[in-house]
Amino acid sequence: MRKIWAWGALLFGILYFTLPLVGMTNFSLKMRRGEYSFDAYAKVFGDPRFQETFTYSVAQALFTIVFGVLLVVPTAYWVRLKLPRLRPYIEFVTLLPLVIPAIVIVFGYIRLYNTSSWLPLTGSAFGTDILLMFGYATLSLPYMYRAVDTGLRTIDVATLTEAAQSLGAGWATILARIILPNALVAVLSGAFLTFAIVIGEFTMAALLNKPAFGPYMQLLGANRAYEPAALAVIAFGITWGCLGLIQLVSRFQKSAPPKA
């Protein structure tokens, strides 16, 4: 009886998540009356705004990932090695973006860094890009930190550090050549989650008036019929691709031996 309920719950979950996507995909292929076609996808890919916004968001995602790695990896490593008593407080701080709405964060940024403040980041396009990257890094912080912290749990940080120091390695060398390679799979998992978050984020990019992919999806959805469905399928494909890559790198983590 339990097996029947388990299979029934699994089937319900599959249908609940896949049927809307199947229906949306079917609708996106009906732009040409009476037959299936990829006209909606062709229009989306041929739209200069799609190319501009998608390229911008990908670039922002890459910069956010680099910034997140430089911030989170040394922090998680140092907390695990030297400051274990601070772990609860660090974890609490990293969880705050999950309970503080993005609109509150971005309004705080605008208030603190407007053109009349001591650091007028919103006064230039480059400054606004930097501010948006910081916002994306804040939103992805819970996922990046959890992924890196989990990866560091699987290795003996103290022993590797002592061994490296006995060979004359400095802190930068230890982080770059010992800790990061051993936690690389966890870092990549956090990077893929960060990429998916940045690609679909709307609130911060819209309020900072930047040509990102999230506002473009909202604008297209308000003015077209078939193209938004095609764009949603593309966005789902990107997100699922990131999740698939996380599963792929997780398999490598299980089979890869620690590096010393």
Q: What tens digit of pLDDT does each residue of 169-210 get?
A: 888 888 888 888 888 888 888 888 898 889 888 899 999 989
Question: Which sign does the torsion angle of CA 97, 103, 106, 112 carry?
Answer: negative
Condensed to tens digits (0 to 9), the pLDDT of residues 30-76 reads 888 778 888 888 888 888 888 899 999 999 999 999 999 999 999 99
Q: Is 182 exposed, middle or buried (0-12, 13-18, 19+ CB in 10 A)?
A: buried
Q: How far is the first Cα of the chain from the last one, in angstroms, to the nearest whole number?
A: 50
> Per-residue pLDDT for 145 more than 90?
yes
In eight-state DSSP terms, residue 170 is -
In eight-state DSSP terms, residue 32 is S
pLDDT of residue 18: 82
* pTM of this structure: 0.84
